[in-house]
Amino acid sequence: MSAFSSRKVLVAVAAVAATALTFSVALPAQAASEDKTLRVAGIIPLTGGLSFLSPPEVAAIHLAVDEINAAGGVLGNKVQLTIADSGDGDTLQIADQSATKAIAGKADVVIGAASSGVTRSIINKITGAQIAEISMSNTAPDLSTWKDGGYYFRTAPSDLLQGKIIANQILQDGSKNVAVIYQDSSYGKGLSDVASGVLTKGKASVTTYAFPENETNFASIVDKALAAKPDAVLLISYDEAKKAIPALKAKAFDAKNLYLVDGNLADYSKESFSAYLQGAKGSLPGKATDKSFAAKLKAKYKAVTGKELTELAYGAETYDAVILAALAAQASGKATGAGIKSQLTNISLTAAGKVKVTGFAAGLKALKAGKKINYDGQSGPVEFDKNGDPTGAFIGIYRYGTAGTYAENLVKVVAGNTVK
C-alpha cells in the first residue's frame, strides 16, 4: 500500500508487542556456501496502522517457503526465513531495526515493507547492501524511479492504476462533487493526487482534506468536507477509517456514496458501524483470490499461529514475491541479492520459447531442464518493467453488504497498465 491495505480486525499476529517481534524458522546448518542458501527476510506490519495486513502476509510467506523447500529448495538447499516487524509511519525506528537485522543476518531478499512510507525509510539501507527488496503492497508512484540500483521490485501495482480506477468508478456512479479525505503521507497524498486528477478531468468538482497519520478525531475534518455538500466522499487512509467512518455516520452521510481504497478496505463486521457501510464501495489491487489458494493460506495461518485467517488482502502478492525471488535465485545460480536482481525481470516476462509456470516446483523442473520460464502468479502475470513495477495488473471494485464485509461482493475486476 502505499497499500489487499488498515482493514481492520486486529487479528492474530497484529496483537503482538509493539517491538520488532521476529518469527524464525530454525533450519539445520547448511554445508553449502552462502551464495547457495537463499535467506528470506520478511519485514511485515505486525504492529501499527497496517497490522491487519500481517496475517495474510505471514501466511503467504510461510506457504511459499514451505512449498519451495518441499520441492527441493533453491540450488539444492532449503530456504531460511525470518519475519520481523515493520511498524508504521509513526514508528519508523522499528523498520530500521528490522532492516539492520536483515542485513546482519545476511538476507538475500527482503519481502516488504507493506507501507510505501516505511519502505522509503529503509529502501536505501536494504538496496544499498545489495539485497533485493520486493514489496507486496507498496503503491506510491514515486517508488518507480527510486535510485535503488535496480534492487527494488513490487508485485502490487502503483497508484497510477488504483487512483485512476477508483476515480473512474466514482464518475461512472454519477458523482460530480467529490470530497477527498486523505492521510497526509506518501501513500495518501500520492493516491489523492492521482484520483483527484482523474476526477477533475472527468468534469467533477474536487475538494481535498488532509489529516495526519494515526489521527483519531475526525469530527472537524468531516464537518469541513461535508460543508460543500459532496455527492461522494473518497476516504484514503489506513486504520484511521475506524474513526472517520463513524464521524461520517454521525453526520448522516449516505454510505452508498462512500468510497474506500486498499488501505482501509477491511472487514468491519465487528465494528459498531458495520451495518452503516451497506452500499459503500472500495478498490483493492489484485484479482479475486482463487478459492483453493485462499484455503491454503487459511490452513497455513492456522498451522503457524493457531488462529483463523479472516483477511486475504495482499496474500497473493506476498506469495508471488517469495516464489519469484526463489526462481530468480535458481535461474541465476546464486542465492544472492545480485543473483535475484539479475533474473527477476527475465523470469516474469512472457516471450516466445518460454515455459509458463505458476508455481515453484514447475519452475524448478523447467530450469533444471535448461528451459527459460515465465512465471504467472496468484496475483496475475506480474511482468516486471525496467523499474521493477508489474506492468499488467488488476484492481477489484467491491461493495459492502449489511454485515460490514466486502470480500463476497466483488463488483468487477479492471485490468490495466500500471505505468500509463
What does the block give as the cell for 95?
Answer: 523498520
Rounded to whole angstroms, how far apart are CA atoms 413 and 76?
A: 39
**Coil, strand or helix at 182:** strand
Give the pLDDT of the chain (420 residues) as one tens digit per residue.
Answer: 644 333 333 333 333 333 334 444 434 333 334 689 999 999 999 999 889 889 999 999 999 999 999 999 999 999 999 999 999 988 999 999 999 999 999 999 999 999 999 999 999 999 999 999 999 999 888 899 999 999 999 999 988 899 999 999 999 999 999 999 999 988 899 999 999 999 999 999 999 999 999 999 999 999 999 999 999 999 999 999 999 999 999 999 999 999 999 999 999 999 999 999 999 999 999 888 899 999 999 999 999 999 999 889 899 999 999 999 999 999 999 999 999 999 999 999 999 999 999 999 999 999 999 999 999 999 988 999 999 999 878 899 999 999 999 989 999 999 876 545
Rounded to whole angstroms, how far apart are CA atoms 113 and 103?
A: 15
**Coil, strand or helix at 116:** helix
- pLDDT of 213-241, one tens digit each? 999 999 999 999 999 999 999 999 999 99
Candidates 27, 109, 72, 42; CA nearest to 363 is 72
Rounded to whole angstroms, how far apart are CA atoms 41 and 362?
A: 24
Rounded to whole angstroms, how far apart are CA atoms 177 and 329?
A: 50
Given a contact cutoff of 8 angstroms between Cβ atoms, the answer to whether 312 and 4 are in contact is yes
Model pTM? 0.85
Element (H, E) at 247: helix 241-250
- pLDDT of 188-215, one tens digit each? 999 999 999 999 999 999 999 999 999 9
Rounded to whole angstroms, how far apart are CA atoms 334 and 75?
A: 8
* Cα 180 versus chain centre, distance: 22
In the chain the domains, ranked by start, together with CATH numbers, are 12-157+291-389 (3.40.50.2300), 160-285+393-417 (3.40.50.2300)
Return the number of other C-beta atoms located less than 10 Å from residue 319's C-beta.
31
